[in-house]
Amino acid sequence: MRRAILYFLIAGVFLSIIAAQALSTDVFAGHGFVLLANQAAQAGTASPGVAVAALEKGKPIERTLSGKEVHYYWLALKEHQFARVMVEQRGVDVTVDLLDSAGTPLATYDSDARPQGKEVADIATNAAATYRLRLQARYPKIAAGNYQIELVEVRAATDKDRDEFEAHKLATQGQNLRNAGKPAEALKFAQQALERGEKALGPDDLYLGELLMRVGQLQRIRGDNDAGETTLKRSIAIFEKASQMQDPRAALALQYLGQTFWGRNDMIKAEQYEQQGQDILRKTLGDEHPLVAGSLMQMSTYRVRRGDFAAAQSQLQTAMAIADKTVEPDDQLSIGLANNLGNLYLEQDDLDRAEPLMERALQGAEKKYGPDSAMLLPILQNLGSISRNRKKYPRALELLNRAETIATRELGPQKPETASLLINIGNVYWDQKVYPKAVEYFQHALSIEQTAAGPYHDYTRAALANLALLYTEMGDMPHAIEYQTRVAQVIDKQIEFNLAIGSERQRLAYRNFMAIRTDLTLSFHLQNDPKDPAAAELAALTILRRKGRVLDSLSENFAALRERMKPEDQKLMDQLAGTDAQLAKVALRGAGKTGSPSEYLQQLHQLETQKEELESDISRDAGLFRANGRNQPQRHQIGNSRQCRTG
């Protein structure tokens, strides 16, 4: 299709950063503050516009915070002391940055996104030091509110106190790198923060759940979806036990978990987890919070993926209305929404409306994150696609090669998302009829995707489909039919897996989504080589087997047959259902990092063999699979017309 295929996985980075900002704001050096007379601090109040007050134990200070106001407080601690500063949010979400005496940021405390929550800053010293605490409203455009800040505890520091303080500092460093679009570096700091946190915190501590969430999020961004799933499930288990999932961080962990399934092509689970997270956000933060807007933006990508452009546009419009009320135009949410709306127009071939939005998003992202940030990837990819469609090939290659360089550095050269860029670069050479270069890029991408993404992933299918169409254009029909047949096998599996694990409504939606691919398969036969018997066989089998798949998945035949089966036959049916579910799970998961690619392919082969044996046994006993054709060769077809190919 015309969209940039990298968009669907990397676009999640925008949501990740938006959600991360609910836990911490960007850190800026503190300058230009004015000391407040001790009398005002001792009185427990401070007049608006005064920037700094001293913190003294047992003397809380309550103030109103609005807009872009910045309030500063200073705190002097002796050698080997521990201090706890409590900020009660009374109508405003506050971020707390800890700075040293020179104004250098050390740690950020912004765990509670609720305007009625609490931020707790625990500080442990090795040497005597004077600190500054900087307080700002997380969302300056949201109405003003009050807060109370108090130094509630000062005592001798323990080793656990120092480990926890170090965890906060390391987490802040990792978070700033992540926000700058440098996930590889960010992950190292996040993992170090988690190690310190595990030493200092109890197993059910909410901050430990947050540290796990941050590591899992970065593992997901880096494409290690299996590790991300494991880490995020640990995080969710803590939030379940400690907060009964009534914490906005629990919602973020669920959404990141959904994105690990998104990265493995399991759209059903991805959407389920995203919706669960959004429900928690609405309950804990309200319907018009920026994090809800970020979730709507993510949900819109699922609708685009299924071709439901009307629903996607509705969700984006709702998200943009929230963003207009709550965040600034240069906020990462605003940048992400501009990119996603531009992508929606690009999907509908409306280049005139797509391009200005993409250019605006690129300018904002470059200013906010720098020219080499991974945050630029989906925007560069989409602008490359627009340039290719406008036949501005040098510009398209410039943008796509820039994206590929960033992806190789930040994600890794053997990642599915990086390899997907090779497909899009190959498309530019294809448009210019530089066939050898196009074949080279498609083959290189395919060699990576088959193992990194998995043999049944959309990226693998895209590489195969483009090779089939390219060879057709080159007049090399033997190779064209070879790759079309491989595409058919991938699509057959995708249909089987998705129809095996979805609801009836989701199965119908997926059936409609795949119907166009069946039509394009017939076009491949009729337009390209109507006399070729192999192409004709492929087209005929596509119709028969795809119809059988869908009818089988949507009928109640299995339930009716169960009632007439012998107990031993019912046992076989149960075994087959379990094998189907396991095969779908393994196939949609991809190779990941749980083992070598060869071990992954061997596991797939074993499950497929087991399934075929069970089908044969049931077929002999009940005639079931002879009746619906499920024991026929798996030769289903996807067809991409030249106008619809990926990238």
pLDDT in tens, 106-140: 999 999 999 999 999 999 999 999 999 999 999 98
Q: Between vectors from CA 383 to CA 415 and to CA 263, what angle results, nearest 5°?
A: 30
Among 174, 215, 181, 597, which residue's Cα sits nearest to residue 409? 181
Q: Is residue 354's pLDDT more than 80?
A: yes
DSSP label at residue 639? -
pLDDT at 237: 97
Identify residue 149 by its one-letter amino acid code. Answer: I
Gyration radius of the chain's alpha carbons: 28
In CATH terms, the fold of domain 31-157 is: Jelly Rolls (2.60.120)
pLDDT at 490: 82
Average pLDDT, stretch 211-226? 94
Among 260, 297, 315, 379, which residue's Cα sits nearest to residue 3? 379
Among 135, 138, 193, which residue's Cα sits nearest to residue 168? 193
pLDDT at 512: 54
Q: Is residue 425's pLDDT more than 70?
A: yes
Average pLDDT, stretch 186-210? 96
Q: Is residue 15's pLDDT more than 60?
A: no
> What separation, in Å, do the N-terminal and C-terminal C-alpha atoms of the chain show?
6
pTM over 0.85: no
pLDDT at 327: 93
Q: Show the tokens assigned to 37.
A: 């007379």
Ranges 232-241, 290-299, 321-330, 601-610: which has the least confidence: 601-610
Digit-coded pLDDT (tens) for 49-96: 445 789 999 899 999 998 889 999 999 999 999 999 999 999 999 999
3-state secondary structure of 646: coil
3-state secondary structure of 119: strand
Could you give the percent of the chain with pLDDT greater than 90? 54
Q: Between vectors from CA 208 to CA 207 and to CA 212, what angle results, nearest 5°?
A: 115
User: What is the rounded distance in angstroms from the CA atom of residue 264 to the CA atom of residue 284?
Assistant: 30
Q: Show the tokens assigned to 53.
A: 């007050």
User: What is the rounded distance in angstroms from the CA atom of residue 189 to the CA atom of residue 179?
Assistant: 13
Digit-coded pLDDT (tens) for 431-479: 999 999 999 999 999 999 988 888 888 889 899 999 999 998 999 988 9
The band of 223, judged by pLDDT with boundaries at 50, 70 and 90, is confident
Nearby residues of 4 by Cβ (< 8 Å), 6 or more positions away: 343, 378, 381, 382, 384, 385, 424, 647
CA atoms within 13 A on the CB side of 493: 25
Could you give the percent of the chain with pLDDT greater than 70? 71
pLDDT at 17: 42
In terms of Cβ atoms closer than 10 Å to its own Cβ (0-12, 13-18, 19+), residue 70 is: middle
Digit-coded pLDDT (tens) for 572-605: 777 777 777 777 667 656 665 555 666 766 676 6
pLDDT at 230: 97
The phi, psi pair for 37, rounded to 5°, reads: -60, 140
pLDDT at 605: 66
pLDDT at 67: 84
The band of 303, judged by pLDDT with boundaries at 50, 70 and 90, is confident
Question: What helix, strand, coil percent values describe the chain, rounded to 5?
Answer: 65, 10, 25
User: What is the rounded distance in angstroms from the CA atom of residue 120 to the CA atom of residue 272?
Assistant: 33
CB distance 206 to 249 below 8 Å: yes
Among 406, 474, 411, 416, which residue's Cα sits nearest to residue 445? 416
Residue that is written with structure tokens 């500080």 in the block? 123
Q: Show the tokens assigned to 323.
A: 């963003």
Among 318, 265, 306, which residue's Cα sits nearest to residue 505? 306
Nearby residues of 134 by Cβ (< 8 Å), 6 or more positions away: 30, 70, 71, 72, 96, 97, 98, 99
Strand partners, 83: 123, 154
The domain locations on the chain are 31-157, 430-647
pLDDT at 527: 53
pLDDT at 498: 58
Q: How does the average pLDDT of the chain come out, rounded?
A: 79
3-state secondary structure of 615: helix
Q: Between vectors from CA 465 to CA 462 and to CA 468, what angle results, nearest 5°?
A: 150
Strand partners, 123: 83
User: What is the rounded distance in angstroms from the CA atom of residue 613 to the CA atom of residue 526?
Assistant: 36
Identify residue 558 by its one-letter amino acid code. Answer: F
Digit-coded pLDDT (tens) for 146-189: 999 999 999 999 999 999 999 999 999 999 999 888 899 999 99
3-state secondary structure of 75: strand
Residue that is written with structure tokens 């429900």 in the block? 279
Identify residue 349 by its one-letter amino acid code. Answer: D
Q: Is residue 307's pLDDT more than 90?
A: no
User: What is the rounded distance in angstroms from the CA atom of residue 488 to the CA atom of residue 549?
Assistant: 13
pLDDT at 179: 85
CB distance 332 to 18 below 8 Å: yes
